[in-house]
Structure 1
């Protein structure tokens, strides 16, 4: 499998902010076959890197005491050639800055922003670490998708701030969907979720993981303490389901059809 294409503006990393890192390691390690390496506490704050078949796929962060009560969640990071410029552009286009660019020694620079529709998104300027090394394989990231309550504003924001070259996959009242890139080369999607997201649920980025068998993965996840939120459902792109892990972080799975990282699963 060739290395993932982490071109500018594309998803390049994911990580989990969790209230129980040890439980998360056990859950995802059992479910996806991950192994782990914990970074130096002083240098990297004990950041945990997850590996699949010897390749990096994700990160896990233990919440700090001052973050107690924050929801456990997965985050997607988009690649930037200049994190400071990206953060400035985000502010100029109606976004919020949650964390200013911060250097990660020898690895790169990271920031966290909120888009104008309320979804948080990470920014990663690579140095030694360019991004996850495995994609669209079982146990690895397969697709990244923004569910937004303000579709037009979101599309414009990612075009202006991250330089997205977008393609309209569908534009009907029932289904509006725009992708970064087109067809087999698409790298992420933006969905109009205004018709189905409850008022109390904000716009958010969703992370899909490839699996060999959706139903078997659901059964195993539930046995490990997960909750099924939606699905499983058959789509042209595979069999999908939405789950939450034992501490409430939401993630999606898609049966590996060879298209998971190349086209919109929710279509």
Structure 2
């Protein structure tokens, strides 16, 4: 897959204390297989679907074992992570990890928007990102879940070349981030009634499955928890879950759609 335009979701990884448990869980739920741990890069381990790289898992760094909550991290493409880091700072974001070169694979940073949403930035080298997307077993979609929607709406289009449009629905506060003609990510306002205070803002990553209900059953069989759904939508049947190590993610069967696509403005 070619290097993606700036701001495109291009990779996802997660840190797990129990790496073997994560392999067992996602292997069972999403059908992933796993490569050999790369000791040179902290035992970083890629996950594959049909032999194509779709994500990665990694253990905590020494000293972090007891204080790191497992969570999925979405990386957005950049042609220059140093320039992106500057825009992150200029627009009120914080750098959690300064730009860093990862051998000949590429360069990365970790950041947090002004509302507390953590994300990564990836400048591709030999590793260009997802080998496949939009299919069962792979990344399909992502949404910024935030309690500070106005901050997110100002920050992300200032850092990346996004334009925005709003869903015409009085029940939810939802926007889309576009790159030219392509919609690449959503933004959802977290309502207190639906999200208890202990749930931090985050980017919700959707992974494709052949059958949403069957994927939910597989997840709960391995210690996962169903948080929402399964629910039909014009974009697919989906369900929000946490794995057995409390990392949140969503599964979606994009072949099973129902209802009209909402109007945007």
Same fold (TM over 0.5): yes
Structure 2 unmatched ranges of 5 or more: none
After TM superposition, list the pairs within 5 Å mapping 1:70-81 onto structure 2: 70-81=68-79
User: What is the TM-score with the length of structure 1 in the denominator?
Assistant: 0.90
Which position in structure 2 is the counterpart of 1:118?
116
Which position in structure 1 is the counterpart of 2:81?
83
User: Take 1:53 and 1:76, find their aligned partners in 2: how far apart are those partners?
Assistant: 21
Tell me the CA shift for residue 93 of structure 1.
0.6
After TM superposition, list the pairs within 5 Å mapping 1:38-49 onto structure 2: 38-41=36-39, 43-49=40-46
Tell me the CA shift for residue 120 of structure 1.
0.3
SS at match of 2:167: strand
Per-residue Cα deviation, 1:225-244 (whole angstroms, up to 9, x for no partner): 11111111111111111111
Structure 1 unmatched ranges of 5 or more: none
Q: 1:220 to 1:242 in 2, by over 3 A?
A: same
Which position in structure 2 is the counterpart of 1:21?
19
Which position in structure 2 is the counterpart of 1:222?
220
Q: Is the 8 A contact 1:4 1:133 kept in 2?
A: no
User: Take 1:251 and 1:38, find their aligned partners in 2: how far apart are those partners?
Assistant: 24
Which position in structure 1 is the counterpart of 2:159?
161
Tell me whether 1:61 sits opposite 2:58 in the alignment: yes
Tell me whether 1:187 sits opposite 2:207 in the alignment: no
Which position in structure 1 is the counterpart of 2:136?
138
Tell me whether 1:50 sits opposite 2:84 in the alignment: no
Q: 1:183 to 1:125 in 2, by over 3 A?
A: closer
Which of the numbers 200, 203, 206 marks the counterpart of 2:201? Answer: 203
Q: Is the 8 A contact 2:2 2:128 kept in 1?
A: no
Q: In angstroms, what is the RMSD of aligned CA positions?
A: 2.1
Q: Is the 8 A contact 2:12 2:74 kept in 1?
A: yes
Q: 1:190 to 1:123 in 2, by over 3 A?
A: same
User: Take 1:149 and 1:116, find their aligned partners in 2: how far apart are those partners?
Assistant: 11
User: What is the TM-score with the length of structure 2 in the denominator?
Assistant: 0.90
Q: Is the 8 A contact 1:150 1:194 kept in 2?
A: no
User: Take 1:220 and 1:246, find their aligned partners in 2: how far apart are those partners?
Assistant: 12
SS at match of 2:187: strand
Per-residue Cα deviation, 1:175-209 (whole angstroms, up to 9, x for no partner): 22221228983111111224533333222101001
Q: 1:121 to 1:164 in 2, by over 3 A?
A: same
Per-residue Cα deviation, 1:153-185 (whole angstroms, up to 9, x for no partner): 10110111122133x131554222221228983
Q: Is the 8 A contact 1:117 1:154 kept in 2?
A: yes
Q: Is the 8 A contact 1:4 1:135 kept in 2?
A: no
User: Take 1:142 and 1:208, find their aligned partners in 2: how far apart are those partners?
Assistant: 5
Aligned residues: 257
Q: 1:155 to 1:142 in 2, by over 3 A?
A: same
User: Take 1:171 and 1:248, find their aligned partners in 2: how far apart are those partners?
Assistant: 33
Q: 1:200 to 1:159 in 2, by over 3 A?
A: same
SS at match of 1:222: helix
User: Take 1:127 and 1:85, find their aligned partners in 2: how far apart are those partners?
Assistant: 16
User: Take 1:39 and 1:246, find their aligned partners in 2: how far apart are those partners?
Assistant: 21
